Structure formats: C-alpha cells, structure tokens
A and B are shown apart, each in its own frame.
Chain A
Amino acid sequence: EVQLLESGGDLVQPGGSLRLSCEASGFTFTNYVMSWVRQAPGKGLEWVSAITGSGGDTYYADSVKGRFTVSRDNSKNTLYLQMNSLRADDTAVFYCTKASGSTRPYYFDYWGQGTLVTVSS
C-alpha cells in the first residue's frame, strides 16, 4: 500500500523559512518523480515543484522559483521542500504527491494527507 506522510508544517513569520518532509512507503521510491502540490485555504490546487527519481532534475512553478528548493534522499525514501523568503500568499496545505511515472507526462496517482503552512506575523 502506497503511503505518503508529510511533516514540518508550522506557523512562520513573513520572510522566514521552513522545511517540509514526506516519508514514502509501499513503492520503489527511486523509480518515480515526486511532486509538491499546495492548496490555499478554500482555494484550488497549485503544482509547486517536482523532482526526478534520481534527484538530478528539479522543476518549479514560477510563483516559488528562487525561493523553494525540492530535494530527496532515496536512502531514506524521503522527499523534502525547503521554503525560504516565505510570504503570506504561501499559506496553504502542502501535499506530497507520487507521480504516475519516472518522466513527463505524469499525473498524481497518490497524495499524502497534507501539512499546513501558515505565514503570518
């Protein structure tokens, strides 16, 4: 059974930093692209970032480029999202998602339960 367990969400001040983690199990982690998708309160879904199975290639939405860094530790089956220079409009539930394959194009076939990031003073 595929399981994705996020952690690290918290209340942080504008300009602050936070690192999210996602522990994966139930599949061969290195074989799949992994992504972060976020959802602001009461809003829709926004793809944030993706990383290939080897970790060699990373991709970002324009809204977070230069501020967020995605990485993975395949020895620990864990995905990370380092978020710097956080803004109020980054407030959202962040979902860890497993992609359907190892390369584009892919959809998201499994989602974690989400972790809430609140950016406020």
Chain B
Amino acid sequence: EIVVTQSPGTLSLSPGERATLSCRASQSVSSNYVAWYQQKPGQAPRLLIYGASTRATGIPDRFSGSGSGTDFTLTISRLEPEDFAVYFCQQYGNSRTFGQGTKVEIK
C-alpha cells in the first residue's frame, strides 16, 4: 500500500498570504494520479485538483497543484477567508489512499 504523508500538520497564515502544502507518497505515483480535497467543518470534502495539477470545475485559479513521482504540492496563491479549512491529498494510482490532512488556520 502506498502511504501518503502530508506536511505540515497545521499551517497558520493570514488572509492574502500564500499557502504551500506538501504531500509525499511512499513510492512513485503512476501518471501523477494525485487529487486534493478541501474540507470545512461539518461539511463533506470537495474536490479541488486531480491529475496532480488539473483544477476541478468551478475551482478558483488561486488554487494550483504541482509535482510528480513522490512529491506533490498544493499552492493557494492568496488566501481568502473561505480557504481556511483542512486539505487532504489522495493518490489513486495504486488503489487509493489519503494523507492525514493539513489544517490551514487563521494566524
């Protein structure tokens, strides 16, 4: 099983700042099959990014994904108040496993 590790566990930032979230897989993810989800308290996760870098429908362009092999990154260029949430990455190239999440909180 591919183990997915996210860092940091918590990111404390102010609105307008840039957020950089890391996702590392224990082995190479085939064809960059990595997705990112956003979850707000009491809500279901929402798909943000798939294929490591493709934004899902309706996702603002301040969200971007990058990376390949074992290392992937979600970047939020300028944090809006509604972006403070928990973010999960998932690999789906070999079965499907999730990271433990990164919480982006208001500093």
Does any Cβ of B come within 8 Å of A27's Cβ?
A: no
Q: Pick out which of these stretches binds chain B: A12-20, A71-79, A83-91, A109-117.
A: A109-117
Q: Pick out which of these stretches binds chain A: B14-22, B42-50, B61-69, B73-81.
A: B42-50
Does any Cβ of B come within 8 Å of A23's Cβ?
A: no
Decide: A107 and B45 in contact? CB cutoff 8 A.
no
Decide: A100 and B98 in contact? CB cutoff 8 A.
no
> What are the residues of chain B within 8 A of A45 when measuring CB–CB?
37, 45, 88, 90, 98, 101
Decide: B33 and A105 in contact? CB cutoff 8 A.
yes
| A32 to B46 Cα, complex, angstroms | 18
Instruction: With CB as the reference atom, state the residue of chain A lying closest to B33.
Output: A105
| A104 to B33 Cα, complex, angstroms | 11
| A108 to B46 Cα, complex, angstroms | 9
Decide: A44 and B88 in contact? CB cutoff 8 A.
yes
Given A45-B98, A46-B98, A47-B96, CB of A109 within 8 Å of CB of B33: no
Instruction: With CB as the reference atom, state the residue of chain B lying closest to A59.
Output: B95
Does any Cβ of A come within 8 Å of B35's Cβ?
A: yes
Cβ distance A107 to chain B, nearest Cβ, rounded Å: 4
> What are the residues of chain B within 8 A of A105 when measuring CB–CB?
30-31, 33, 92-93
Max chain B CB contacts within 10 Å: which of A44, A104, A111?
Answer: A44
Within 8 A of A (CB), among B49-63: 50, 56
Instruction: With CB as the reference atom, state the residue of chain B lying closest to A114.
Output: B44
Does any Cβ of B come within 8 Å of A29's Cβ?
A: no
